[in-house]
Amino acid sequence: MVDQGDAIVTITEHHDDQGCHVALRGRLDVRSVADVRLPLHRLIADAGTPLLLDLGEAHVGDATGFGLIVECLRRSRRAGRPMHIIAADDRTRRLLRRARLGALLGAAPSAAAVTDPLLAGAAG
């Protein structure tokens, strides 16, 4: 039996002089992506500051979860808003590199200086 608790994904956001920090936590898969898609679209459309996506505590569970990341990138480019992934697990990093999207990883100019506990360790 599948544990339905795995389908919960949380979004935390805050804005500072570096941009809009968005942290996703949980498993991104076919069951959870629909719940976070519209809030992420809203965040991308709201402002012109860089979108700093923290996936350090998120797990890309299937192609739908990875597709959400690619969709966010496409939307941010169309909106003229830079997007950077400041934290991701090893698997997500490998997936991004294989899809030739490795330039998104840690590309934020001041991501190494982030001291916020929400994003601690994100520059690595």
Sequence-separated (6 or more) residues with CB below 8 Å from residue 19 = 49, 50, 51, 52, 82, 108
Q: 25 falls in which pLDDT band (50, 70, 90)?
A: very high
Mean pLDDT computed over 106-118: 48
Q: Is residue 114 part of a domain?
A: no
State the helix-helix crossing angle for 90-98 and 63-78, rounded to 10 degrees.
60
- Per the domain annotation, does 115 fall within a domain? no
Domain hosting 29: range is 9-105
Half-sphere exposure of 19 (CA within 13 A, CB side): 24
Please report whether residue 124 resides in a domain. Answer: no
Q: What percent of the chain has pLDDT over 70?
A: 79
pTM: 0.74
Q: Is the model's pLDDT at 46 over the cut of 60?
A: yes
Q: What is the pLDDT of residue 104?
A: 85
Domain count, the chain: 1
Tell me how far apart the alpha carbons of residues 73 and 89 are, in angstroms, rounded to a whole number.
18
Which residues are paired to 81 by β-bridges?
A: none
pLDDT recorded at residue 112 = 44
Write down the pLDDT at residue 108: 52
